[in-house]
Structure 1
């Protein structure tokens, strides 16, 4: 072992990975970023996490925390620091089937969660990829395939088990540490290290699933018609759209998920989508929810998806906003553009109830650029769209700064988040800008 780490707590014996270890390549990086940490700690308990925090403090090592490693900012790794990798904390337990109360450890992947809950006829509204870790998503928001019917992932969190930066273990719920619960539901990355969540799951086995392709006009009228259809759609319907341009032709690839196995509701939700323009229905099936976040998604993260990503929230898709989105997708900077539907159950929650305050907006627009195009090129391409957005979502920001903080946590929400980060992490060791 590296002599500098020879005094590590006995609790971490066999749980430290350093550059000379065979496993180091598998543990050094995230999905987007290749890191070179001095050491990776792989804890199995709250005590292990506390020991890793102490090690980082004693050695003066920068700290990174990782659940699944899909964070676009790459903050789940670093160079020359200590990484706390939570992958061994991955248990999923049904605590009370009647109340649908489920405990999920932060290092689990959503594929594992869906697979474990399926025999019980339960699901948790999560992201849209099975390899994403629970911890990062469930502390940031959680926009996924069930969002319009069951809300954000944070909306289903009833308690969080947290290790604070002083090493103390705390349970945050409505009665105990309610301020910590509030900040962990939307802005948890700067307050503490989440080890486990208690969720109120939902009754769900099968869903309607459809894939459609639509030709997109330069004026973006197809996007506006989709927006109008979603205003009147059953809450069970959630859509995700990807724009792709080849020359003068822009196409929208639409995935529609209907959170029920009722064929009548599925038909009623999907049929209006066929009327938004030149649309081809590629497939429509009823399928288990586990097929949306399958175990096949799980892979090692080796920094394979270098990218720059930004996003914004839109309440009403005006003609000018629709034109700007299409122009960005078909412009000189190749941009991967997505649109996710919101509204429905998301809007039921008081904006002040969690650290995710964006409750009235109905669309999330995400833009990514890949090498050789970087953050600066993406920013220029994004500017015309940004004029029509209000607010941003923390989990789709690759270059967080003061401006994106203010967009993500505006006004009184941002003031409260900053105050609670200062209270629970006064040294700022969880904040990447520290």
Structure 2
């Protein structure tokens, strides 16, 4: 019997919302099998209720919950099975669990950077992680999946079976179905060299340009993120932090990133991949505004605009990607951004009340960045507009995904996703 939690039940307050959002669903289903997921899907369709599918609940737009509808909470589907380098991951497992389970076998899968993020949400959005330059996004390691369709049918998706679904779930979010199990190829990586280099905030533009130049010739085993932190009171001045993960035990691989400016601090260590992943938390009341775009070239002009923005409590970062990601054709998966060498992201921190006065400057920054960027990563958008959605699923990708959805989900039961813009 499937577990169903309703308002008033003891567990309701704990599981009705998601990471950054409150919700008031009428029913929270907690399935333990694909058959029970199908039962939840059929129930929502039969009752005409909005359906949210939650893996880890981290999506910034709050799709993992709703008001008055059904939530299918997949957290009980957390089995992890290993057969050589082939791994079966339940959609409700977290990437922290995956990394820790794979580590004793000398295996790793390039995932996101947060332990509690769910397998399902990150994978169906693409999966940009700490080894993306060497192995590509996580969807490129997917070989098959178990999917529950809008009709409640349980099917297998791969290059040979239900190929339309297999294409759609690799970057198309949850539009085409609910993935309950992912079959993936893990990589033989037992350790990574992880580094943190801190530079003065006043050198941001110069550090970013030197960082870009260093990565242009770096081994693809090196993935790096440049972080620009705002001031958090007098005890925490603004700073520039360069994070780097090299796939393997080689501290020399990260040393060029220690010479980008006047180094303030450095920390280099060789650790299991699981130790690279971080815990996530939000101060009470915080509801960040997150926006991102991809760049096919980190030009001086882009860096100058990005580094020059001074908005209180705004965090900025550039993630260097490229490498293996660029060697897959754009049409091969619903994650289409195969010419990207970097992802540019801004996060307005604080409460909704604090956001208002800063929004004009925030929008002005993105207007200035627009000529230099294109495409967007659906997993890092909190308030997706039609423009954002068109960038997540550009051109032919959006058209193909919409056609698959029309066939597989004509009633838009799986509408709690980045919208498809016609």
TM-score normalised to structure 1 length: 0.90
Please give the alpha-carbon distance, in whole angstroms, between the structure 2 residues aligned to 1:219 and 1:278.
Answer: 11
Tell me the residue number matched to 1:400.
Answer: 384
Deviations 1:229-272 (CA, angstroms, capped at 9, x unpaired):
1110111111122102349x7521111111001x3xx30x2121
Change (3 A) 1:72 1:341: same
d(CA) in 1 for partners of 2:325, 2:338: 6
Correspondence for 1:358: 337
In 2, distance between residues paired with 1:359 and 1:82?
35
Once the two structures are superposed, what CA deviation does each residue of 1:165-204 show, in whole Å capped at 9, x if it has no partner?
1000011001101111011000031110010100110001
Match of 2:76, SS state, is coil
Is the CA contact (8 Å cut-off) linking 1:33 and 1:303 kept in structure 2?
no
- The match for 1:18 is 6
| Secondary structure of the structure 2 residue equivalent to 1:83 | strand
Partner of 2:20: 32
Report what 1:342 is aligned to: 321
SS at match of 1:239: strand
- Alignment match, 1:310: 291
* 2:127 match: 142
Change (3 A) 1:386 1:250: farther
1:59 is matched with which residue?
Answer: 47
**For 2:57, which of 35, 59, 69 is the aligned residue?**
69
Number of aligned pairs? 409
Q: Tell me if structure 1 keeps the 8 A contact 2:205–2:304.
A: yes
Counterpart-to-counterpart distance in 1, 2:18 and 2:365: 26
Whole-Å Cα distance in 1 between the matches of residues 335 and 245 of structure 2? 23
CA RMSD across the alignment: 2.1
Residue 373 of structure 1 aligns with which residue? 355
CA contact (8 A) 1:124 1:201 kept: yes
* 1:109 and 2:94 correspond: yes
Q: Deviations over 1:285-342 (max 9, x none)?
A: 1111111126xx388x9986521111011122222211111122x23x5311111110
Change (3 A) 1:368 1:302: closer
> CA-to-partner distance for each residue in 1:376-434, whole Å, 9 max, x for gaps?
55434432223321111110111223211211111111111111111111111111369
Paired position in structure 2 for 1:124:
109
Partner residue of 2:180? 195
Q: Please give the alpha-carbon distance, in whole angstroms, between the structure 2 residues aligned to 1:70 and 1:338.
A: 19
Q: Is the 8 A contact 2:23 2:66 kept in 1?
A: yes
Q: Is the CA contact 1:216–1:222 (under 8 Å) kept in the aligned structure 2?
A: no
Q: Which runs of 4+ in 1 moved over 6 A?
A: 301-304
Matched position secondary structure for 2:171: helix
* CA distance in structure 2 between the aligned counterparts of 1:54 and 1:304, rounded to whole angstroms: 35
> Which stretch shows the higher mean deviation, 345-354 or 178-187?
345-354
Structure 1 residues 108-135: Cα deviation after superposition (integer angstroms, max 9, x where no partner): 0001101111111111111001100000
Change (3 A) 1:352 1:26: same
* Counterpart Cα distance in 1 of 2:201 and 2:339: 26
CA 1:36–1:107 in structure 2 vs 1: closer, same or farther (change >3 Å)?
same
In structure 2, the residue matched to 1:323 is 304
C-alpha distance in structure 2 between counterparts of 1:71 and 1:391, whole Å: 18
Deviation at 1:57, TM superposition (A): 2.0
Task: Please name the residue that 1:412 is paired with.
Answer: 396
Q: 1:399 to 1:279 in 2, by over 3 A?
A: same
Q: Distance in 2 between matches of 1:86 and 1:225?
A: 43
The alpha-carbon deviation at position 42 of structure 1 amounts to: 0.4
Deviation at 1:43, TM superposition (A): 0.4
Check the 8 A contact 2:145/2:156 in 1, yes or no. Answer: yes
Secondary structure of the structure 2 residue equivalent to 1:142: coil
Contact 1:214-1:252 within 8 A present in 2 as well: yes
Structure 2 unaligned segments of length 5 or more: list them: none
Q: SS at the partner of 2:100?
A: helix
Aligned CA distance change for structure 1 residues 303 and 67 (closer, same or farther; 3 Å) = farther
Q: Which residue of the other structure, out of 47, 65, 89, is the alignment partner of 2:77?
A: 89
Q: Secondary structure in 2 aligned to 1:256?
A: strand
Counterpart in 2 of 1:257?
245
Contact 1:33-1:305 at 8 Å conserved across structures: no
CA contact (8 A) 1:209 1:257 kept: yes
Q: Which one of 245, 251, 257 corresponds to residue 230 of structure 2? A: 245
Alignment correspondent of 1:291 = 275
Cα drift, residue 218 of structure 1: 6.6
Q: CA deviation at 1:216?
A: 4.2
Shift of 1:225: 1.2
Contact 1:31 1:303 in 2 (8 A): no
Q: In the TM superposition, what whole-angstrom CA distance separates every residue of 1:31-60 from its partner, at most 9, and x where no partner exists?
A: 111111111000011111111112212222
The answer to whether the 8 A contact 1:142-1:152 is kept is yes
What's the secondary structure of 1:350's corresponding residue?
A: coil
After TM superposition, give the deviation of residue 275 of structure 1 in Å.
Answer: 2.2
Q: Which moved more, 1:173-182 or 1:269-278?
A: 269-278
